[in-house]
């Protein structure tokens, strides 16, 4: 019975595990940059929304205060016994105070969002311009990421819950404020209508029912100038969503999280494009012919390929060569000198013999041509 050879031993590779992208140690840093980008988009949306409402509320508050001041002055000048003297009561003064507080909170909210946006931009800029994989930069980078995340979360929660009561009560309070002032100064509404491009279209005898008039567009404009609760909740959800996504991606290394990190890593250092450019340059350099000398492994240089000179044209036999022969004989025998280089046999031949030979050749050629 033939014995089979023993099986070869199993070999183990000493190479490290395959990494899906360069810089595997920057996996979490790349995910943090991805979260910062999404968070920056959310903060940018919040800044745009808050800026719109802050600008709109500023105009409404200015026009409202100006209208109430004029109404008080007109009520004192043109006193109406039926309506009485117009004065702001304690509740109305509290409404104006709440509007000033709301305006201050809204502008502080906008400033805090701008600071959050600059903070996130600094995190993204630090990731894409420096190597945050190790060293002190890594510690500094993660410190900025953690502080920025907590700041953006605390910022939106604090201002949302502080401004929410004012945004809920001010629309109705402002409407009641106008209901009290319009009968004393109905003509003063024209300035507000011109600035906001709207119409009150009220009935002086039914001021409280002007909201039922579909042609009334100024009251909805004033009501919509205050940021509403649904918008605040949407901003809050948009802010928390990137944080939740970041926690889920960083909790475990999955193919999806690696794909996200790989995409961010490629954006940071597009090495594939650089390799492609180098390959194209390498092909172009080797495809073009260069006449430079190239040395082999042993140092032997290859000769340069020179272009061969063309052969002189063949002259016809009918041309007289005696002139060229005479010139050659003359150049060979004329003043050779002591140091002359004309040491060939033709320099010692007599010019007369050369002339005689050329005549005999010419005569024989002419006889052959005649025959």
Give the residue extent of every domain in the chain: 24-276
In this prediction, residues 66-95 reach a mean pLDDT of: 85
Cβ atoms 106, 227 nearer than 8 A? yes
Between 84 and 32, the higher pLDDT residue: 32
Would you put residue 283 in left (φ > 0), alpha (ψ -120 to 50) or beta? alpha
Residue 65: CB atoms within 10 Å:
13
Is the torsion defined by CA of 84, 85, 90, 94 positive or negative?
A: positive
- Which of 259, 271, 235, 270 is closest to 34 using CA atoms? 259
Between 111 and 275, the higher pLDDT residue: 111
Angle between helices 27-77 and 229-251 (to 10 degrees): 170
- At 263, the pLDDT band (50, 70, 90 cuts) reads confident
Measured CA to CA, the distance from residue 287 to residue 224 in angstroms comes to 70
- Which of 20, 17, 12 is closest to 259 using CA atoms? 20
The token duo for 188 is 């003063």
* Across 24-33, 38-47, 357-366, least confident range: 357-366
Instruction: Kindly report the average pLDDT of the chain as a whole number.
Output: 74
Predicted pLDDT of residue 294:
45
Measured CA to CA, the distance from residue 241 to residue 231 in angstroms comes to 15
pTM of the complete model: 0.64
* Across 69-73, 97-101, 250-254, 281-285, least confident range: 281-285
364 has pLDDT over 80: no
- Which of 4, 106, 93 is closest to 52 using CA atoms? 106
Beta bridge partners of 350: none
pLDDT cut 90: percent of the chain above it: 32
């Amino acid at each position: 019975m033939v014995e089979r050879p023993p099986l070869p031993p199993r070999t183990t590779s000493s190479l490290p595990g395959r990494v899906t992208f360069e810089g595997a140690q920057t996996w979490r840093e790349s995910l943090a940059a991805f979260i910062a980008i999404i968070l920056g988009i959310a903060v940018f949306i919040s800044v745009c929304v808050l800026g719109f409402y802050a600008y709109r509320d500023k105009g409404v508050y200015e026009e409202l205060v100006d209208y109430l001041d004029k109404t008080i002055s007109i009520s004192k000048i043109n006193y109406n016994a039926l309506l009485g003297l117009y004065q702001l009561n304690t509740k109305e003064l509290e409404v104006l105070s709440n509007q000033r507080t709301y305006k201050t909170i809204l502008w502080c909210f906008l400033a805090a969002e701008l600071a959050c946006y600059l903070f996130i931009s600094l995190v993204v800029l630090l990731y894409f311009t420096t190597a945050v994989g190790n060293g002190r930069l890594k510690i500094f980078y993660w410190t900025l990421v953690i502080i920025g995340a907590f700041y953006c979360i605390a910022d939106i929660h604090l201002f949302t819950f502080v401004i929410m009561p004012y945004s809920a009560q001010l629309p109705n309070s402002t409407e009641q404020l106008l209901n009290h002032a319009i009968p004393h100064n109905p003509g003063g509404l024209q300035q507000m209508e011109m600035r906001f491009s709207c119409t009150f279209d009220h009935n002086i005898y039914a001021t409280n029912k002007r909201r039922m008039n579909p042609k009334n567009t100024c009251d909805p404009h004033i009501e919509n100038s205050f940021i509403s609760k649904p918008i605040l909740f949407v901003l809050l959800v948009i802010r928390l969503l990137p944080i939740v996504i970041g926690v889920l991606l960083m909790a475990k290394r999955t193919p999806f999280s690696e794909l996200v990190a790989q995409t961010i890593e490629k954006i940071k250092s597009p090495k594939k494009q650089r390799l492609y450019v180098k390959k194209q340059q390498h092909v172009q350099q080797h495809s073009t012919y260069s006449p430079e000398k190239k040395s082999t492994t042993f140092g032997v240089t290859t000769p340069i390929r020179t272009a061969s000179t063309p052969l002189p044209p063949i002259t016809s036999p009918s041309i007289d060569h005696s002139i060229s022969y005479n010139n050659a004989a003359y150049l060979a025998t004329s003043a050779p000198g002591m140091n002359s280089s004309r040491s060939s046999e033709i320099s010692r031949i007599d010019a007369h013999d050369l002339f005689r030979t050329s005549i005999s050749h010419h005569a024989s050629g002419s006889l052959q041509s005649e025959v």
